[in-house]
Amino acid sequence: MTTERMGLSVDGYYLGVDGGGSKCRATLSTLNGELLGHGMGGPANPFQSISRAIESIETATAQAIANCGLDPIEVSRIYAGIGLAGVNLPIFYNAVCEWQHPYREMFLTTDLEIACIGAHDGNDGAVIVAGTGSCGYAMVNGKSTMCGAHGFPFGDKGSGAWMGLEAIKAVLLAADDLGPKTSLTEKITGQLDANGVSIVEKMAGGGSRRFAELAPAVIDAAEAGDTVATGIVESGAQYLSEVARKLWLNNPPRMSLLGGLRDRILPWMDASVVACLSPPVHEPDVGAVLFAHRELNKAANRSTDVARLQVG
């Protein structure tokens, strides 16, 4: 990760941004790979709100710059690698690209690609993410495979938001005496401080984050043997295991499980899948730095090729 390796003599910094449905994390490093500092911002999923996502990236960037003791004006010397949830959809990719960003250059991709680059130190591999949302991604021999990443409420099975939604459904069925009242009912009504129809008022219009906040209670209940919660967690974990098996068909050299629910959902997944998992080498924000390196390098090589062609 040195300037020599990059074949570049440019001056400046690299910023890696990992933006998800709950928060946005930025890492700033020098061109020769020295880590300078971090910054945090709010939710950065353009699927939820493009303006909010951009605001969160700006906050995380400003914090990272301040955290490193740099002058805010240095933002114009930054090569930013940005990985965002939702930009697998062209409509959101294009919307973020229209942002009049303050960086020297911005390279945009999915949060999945930077997570995969980070988890395997820039090499081929696969990742399964179980956080606010859920999805799978593999990059092998230049071919990427995506699985899930469809978003709340139709996709993201096995994610925190999905678990929260399934729990709310079960609690509302129980409130109507059309489903069993279990310890999960008490946990959810306790956490929301609401019963029956008041739960609907509390959750009405709520996005994935609000539902994902309920996931730890669902897993707690499942661990304590609650039948309804166990059904939810087992079904979610089974889906994640299926995603892993599907990605494994691409023969990735490594596979990692990532996301806020990683440690809690792992014991519920198939043992054969768990046996294939390796710990991630870097966090996704560092993956975003590596992504910016790679894209800048590609651009530099293209320029060199063009120069060669022009000389030739």
Task: Using CB under 8 A, list all residues that contact its own copies.
Answer: 47, 88-91, 146-151, 153-155, 165, 168-169, 172, 176-178, 197, 200-201, 203-204, 239, 242-243, 246
Q: How far is the CB of 280 from its own copies (least distance, A)?
A: 23
Q: How far is the CB of 47 from its own copies (least distance, A)?
A: 6
| Beta carbons within 10 angstroms of residue 301's beta carbon | 11
- 16 or 148: whose CB is closer to its own copies? 148
Nearest alpha-carbon partner for 196 in 168, 217, 163:
168
Between the CA atoms of 172, 176, 180 and 183, what dihedral angle is there, to the nearest 10 degrees?
Answer: 50
C-alpha 99, offset from chain centre: 21
- The residue written with tokens 């790979």 in the block is 33
- 228 or 292: whose CB is closer to its own copies? 228
- Asked if 159 and 218 touch (Cβ cutoff 8 Å), the reply is no
- 168 or 257: whose CB is closer to its own copies? 168
- 7 or 196: whose CB is closer to its own copies? 196
Cα separation, 103 vs 288, whole angstroms: 15
- 182 or 241: whose CB is closer to its own copies? 241
Cα separation, 255 vs 118, whole angstroms: 12
Q: How far is the CB of 162 from its own copies (least distance, A)?
A: 10
- 4 or 154: whose CB is closer to its own copies? 154
- Asked if 26 and 41 touch (Cβ cutoff 8 Å), the reply is yes
Cα separation, 154 vs 39, whole angstroms: 32
Nearest alpha-carbon partner for 277 in 302, 306, 240, 311:
240
Q: How far is the CB of 161 from its own copies (least distance, A)?
A: 11
